[in-house]
Structure 1
Amino acid sequence: MMGHTHAMTGAIAWLALAPPLAALPLLNESSRFIETGIMAGALGPAELIAGALVCAGAAMLPDLDHPSATIAQTFGPVTWLLSKFVSWISGGHRGMTHSLAFAAALGFGVHWLVNTYPIARDITVVLMVGLALRAIGIGIPGNKAGSIMINIGMTAGLYAVFLSLNVGYAWLGLAVGVGCLIHVVGDCMTERGCPVLWPLGAKFVLPWKIGIKTGKKFEQKILAPILSVAIIGLLFWRLAPL
């Protein structure tokens, strides 16, 4: 799937799953392992929107194994070189990073990192929001420098708004894990599939050759509008007053 499709499905996943996840005592209550419940207080309007953006950005992360992907081009030579390295260690595109193991490792890793080093939380939020805006095409067509400046400005503005609203980020690692997982699910619906149970080599793919062809007419002209309507509908459902 293309970058914007992954980002939109990431946002949809968070908007759809946040309430049921918050209803789980394991995620909502404190324990001897987690001082504050991961999803405690995560259903306010600001948290839902912040979570949707973070999850949308995180849905781009598995494609770090593809030097030509949107995420590899987002921050210039830095992400391109990182992508080349990830591609090498993961065995090429749709290898290690397109698996349950990667989604779980990244989710738990981010949760530990942001709770151990507060600055990591801020960096993660900014990077994920920036990736989300880049993926959905925020910018000026044909003007790379202008698009970068708009992305930076909007990312900084959104982060400042979240900061002013005292958004809590106990759920940050969970959102990153969910975003990576929904990317894997999406790519399993394409004609190439994914090695979901990596390091096992078997690929999960839709049967009867009905997988989505990446970047073709169905994804761009039919699927993208459907996902856009789904995001608007979920936002209205979650945020509209009763």
Structure 2
Amino acid sequence: MGFSHATTGVLVGVAVAAPLAAAAGTPPTPMGLLAWALLGAGSALVPDLDHPSSTATRSQGFVTGLLSRGMRALSLAVYRRTRTPADRSDGEHRHLGHTPVFAAAVGAVIGLLCHLSWWATLVTAWFLAFLGLRALRKVAWRGLRTALGSWPGAALGALCVAALFLTAWDNHPPGWIVGAVVALGMIVHSLGDALTSSGVPLAWPFTVNGRRWAMLGVPRWMRFRTGTWPEWVVGAVSLTGSLAVGYALVA
């Protein structure tokens, strides 16, 4: 679901982050909306760093591979410390990284770091834009799609986005907005997974029917398998909504 997750993140970046940025003193522009859209897209891929073969984990080779191993180890450790006798799972994929509590914590840490240092903002913006570009390259024209499929192409594109992002804020955008985008992007990822057959532990650390890691989601009859047509509907609706909101903001 890498592409569809990224599209929901685009909607977060355009519909939430851009208005927050406008309220903080930076009116939305087409290029500014593009930057927020890509940061949102990247944020919505972060939870899947807990899977060894996800789009996020494979995006930057050793770096994201190391992050993936770290997230899986942390998730497993927390799972083992907090599980109940009724919990039966591996404790890695779709566990800690897919909880709203963890998303809020990551967003808070990123927000604080970006508040303290523009370097942290630059690295965060570059990393998230890189993830976003790799996931969304399917909708780019063929030449650009090929370029973004390579590490140098995606890295250069992400650097341009990060530079544009910092320039718009005179090199130091409010860290809390960046943190909010990261947290909300991760949360919409989890909500997207709640539409699928497996569900996610949205209630953690609270127990549901005796399970702290209960996999929750929409009613069973509304769920779908990844890779089927409902997933493409989610992506299409998210992109259409993003375009509509973006047009309204800059018109």
Does 1:53 pair with 2:52?
no
Q: Note the residue ranges of structure 1 that are not aligned, 5 or more in a row.
A: 23-27, 29-38
* Map of 1:35 onto structure 2: none
* Map of 1:97 onto structure 2: 97
CA 1:227–1:44: 2 relative to 1, 3 Å: closer
TM-score, normalization by structure 1 = 0.81
CA 1:125–1:20: 2 relative to 1, 3 Å: closer
Does 1:155 pair with 2:158?
yes
* Map of 2:219 onto structure 1: 207
The CA deviation string for residues 157-207 of structure 1, in whole angstroms up to 9 with x for no partner, is 223333443365211111111111111111111111110122321222111
CA 1:68–1:141: 2 relative to 1, 3 Å: farther
* 1:191/1:209 contact within 8 Å kept: no
* Map of 1:64 onto structure 2: 49
CA 1:236–1:195: 2 relative to 1, 3 Å: same
* Map of 1:216 onto structure 2: 228
CA 1:42–1:209: 2 relative to 1, 3 Å: farther
The 2-side partners of 1:114 and 1:148 are apart by: 25
* 1:191/1:206 contact within 8 Å kept: no
The 1-side partners of 2:236 and 2:223 are apart by: 19
Does 1:169 pair with 2:159?
no
Q: Note the residue ranges of structure 2 that are not aligned, 5 or more in a row.
A: 76-90, 206-211
* Map of 1:225 onto structure 2: 236
* Map of 2:208 onto structure 1: none
TM-score, normalization by structure 2 = 0.78
Question: How far 1:19 sits from its partner (Å)?
Answer: 6.9
* Map of 2:9 onto structure 1: 10
What's the secondary structure of 1:226's corresponding residue?
helix
* 2:125/2:165 contact within 8 Å kept: no
* 1:95/1:198 contact within 8 Å kept: no
Question: How far 1:21 sits from its partner (Å)?
Answer: 5.4
CA 1:19–1:129: 2 relative to 1, 3 Å: closer
The 2-side partners of 1:118 and 1:157 are apart by: 16
The 1-side partners of 2:121 and 2:243 are apart by: 27
The CA deviation string for residues 106-137 of structure 1, in whole angstroms up to 9 with x for no partner, is 11111111122331111001111111101112
CA 1:113–1:160: 2 relative to 1, 3 Å: closer
Question: How far 1:212 sits from its partner (Å)?
Answer: 2.4
* 1:18/1:43 contact within 8 Å kept: no
What's the secondary structure of 1:181's corresponding residue?
helix
The CA deviation string for residues 11-70 of structure 1, in whole angstroms up to 9 with x for no partner, is 112322347757xxxxx9xxxxxxxxxx51254225443222212111111111101110
CA 1:118–1:144: 2 relative to 1, 3 Å: closer
Query: How many percent identity over aligned positions?
Result: 33
What's the secondary structure of 1:97's corresponding residue?
helix
What's the secondary structure of 1:209's corresponding residue?
helix
Does 1:186 pair with 2:213?
no
